Amino acid sequence: MPSKPRSHLAAPKPLDEKVSVNLGYVDLGQIDLLVRDGFYGNRTDFIRTAIRNLLARHADAVQQSVSRQMLVLGIHHFSAADLQAVRDAGQTLQIRVLGLATIGSEVEPALALAAIESVVVLGALHASPAVRAALAGRIR
């Protein structure tokens, strides 16, 4: 039976993920015009605002999908102590996160394998290269 992931305030504050977007020259020129005229501080401000507006427009559809897929929304950190407790209880985690899931840098690959049954993250997963490699067959 999967255990519920626990969130911890002690986790380090995550950095934003970098995403590349290819834009046509006309679209880019229009963005630059709005930036130049003071509507936005820079291109990034414009793009973030546009994305947030679209996400707000589709908020109901996102919420329905989150519920249907049983995803946990937000930032969730899994420390070695968390994973040891799950393993010691004879259980495994099914990590299902929309947002950011982090597996502590102190977590050894063997512990991750013993405690984590599967990982589904829509957003970003931060884990050491060794833990990522160990869990590669369980990350969907």
What digits encode the pLDDT tens for the residues 52-87?
999 999 999 999 988 888 888 899 999 999 999 999
C-alpha 137/C-alpha 27 separation (Å) is 40
Q: Which residues pair with 71 in a beta bridge?
A: none
Instruction: Kindly tell me if the per-residue pLDDT of 35 is higher than 90.
Output: yes
Could you report the per-residue pLDDT of 3-22, keeping only the tens digit for each? 444 444 445 555 788 889 99
Phi, psi for 2 (deg, rounded to 5): -70, 140
For residue 131, what are its two tokens? Answer: 């833990």
Give the per-residue pLDDT at 68: 84
Per DSSP, 137 falls in state G
Could you report the per-residue pLDDT of 125-136, keeping only the tens digit for each? 999 999 999 999
Instruction: Kindly tell me if the per-residue pLDDT of 42 is higher than 90.
Output: yes
Give the per-residue pLDDT at 8: 46
**Contact partners, residue 46, CB within 8 Å, separation at least 6:** 31, 34, 35, 39, 40
Instruction: Please provide the average confidence, as pLDDT, over all residues in the chain.
Output: 90
Q: What is the mean predicted confidence (pLDDT) over 23-36?
A: 95
